[in-house]
Amino acid sequence: MKKLVLVYNPVSGKAVFKNKLDDIICKLQSRGCMVIPYRTTPENSNLLEFIRLASPDGIIAAGGDGTVHEIVNLIMHHKLDIPMGIIGTGTSNDFATFLKLDTDEYFDRIAEGKTMKIDLGKVGDRYFINVCSAGMVTSIAHEVDTRLKNAFGKLAYYVQGLKTLPSFRALDLTVRTGEEEFHEKAFLFLVVNSSVVASFKNAAVQASVQDGVMDLLIMKQCNMADLMVVTTELLTGKDISHRKEVVYRQSASFEVECSEPLTSDIDGEIGPDLPLHIETVPKAFEIFY
């Protein structure tokens, strides 16, 4: 019998996760899995001890991107030799969406122990599974009131985004890879592991979680009409990498500097201030797949 710790965020997904918990436990238990639930708190101060005492065959992260980010870092920092599964239940579940982990068949694969190794990104001592970003729009997620996000989900991000449009201004970025150095005046940049970012399902068309590189997207300074065109194409799943307003690169590492103070965002959580050294850690993490 496979033993699994189910780490769940009770307020994710408009705070209705409690209605899904029994269904998730039922699906895993009916497939011969022993499920040990752990209810997250703002601190999760005893989560590591809980996992070590449970000695599970895997950890299931049920929540949004922030919950997944925390479990990834806990596993990596403490060298826990166990795979992680992802059940997306939050406002944003980009990585789970990219890997199509939202089907009943995924529970079969968890029970059967099917896994794969994936790349991670790393900034300083922090790992990210999906995205590291910074710029004029990446602060939106942190400015959205939690109550608003729980009530309205993704709509809350769009409302906040519309409020910030009048204050958009470009930033002076310097980017270095192993092959080149270039400068851009840009609204934002993203270094991504998958093609799904901020619920845009085809943001980085060449992205792969097993190719040993990260994908860089820079939204260059442009007028509001062009910005709206690019955003519309993202919403409809079109490839934007060829557009004149976008810089697209792939590399195993990136160094990004800004001419003014700027704070990054890592998997939806507040990250370090720029400058950043972002590197790929190839096939460093095992997930149920």
Name the CATH topology of 127-281. Tumour Suppressor Smad4 (2.60.200)
> 129: helix, coil or strand?
coil
Nearest by Cα to 124 from 289, 288, 246, 281 = 281
Residue range 2-113, CATH number: 3.40.50.10330
Residue 141's pLDDT band, with cuts at 50, 70 and 90, is: low
What does residue 50 show for φ and ψ, rounded to 5 degrees? -60, -45
> Can you give the length of the chain in residues?
289
Joined tokens for residue 31: 């497939």
Domain boundaries in the chain?
2-113, 127-281
Query: Which residues, in sequence order, are bridge partners of residue 257?
Result: 174
Task: Report the C-alpha gap between 141 and 253 in whole angstroms.
Answer: 25
- Options 184, 233, 269, 279, the catalytic residue: 269
- Summarised one tens digit per residue, pLDDT across range 276-285 is 999 999 999 9
Residue 14's pLDDT band, with cuts at 50, 70 and 90, is: low
- Summarised one tens digit per residue, pLDDT across range 52-61 is 999 999 999 9
269 is catalytic: yes
Nearest by Cα to 21 from 9, 31, 3 = 9
Handedness of CA 71, 74, 77, 80 (dihedral sign): negative
Q: Across all residues in the chain, what is the average pLDDT? A: 89
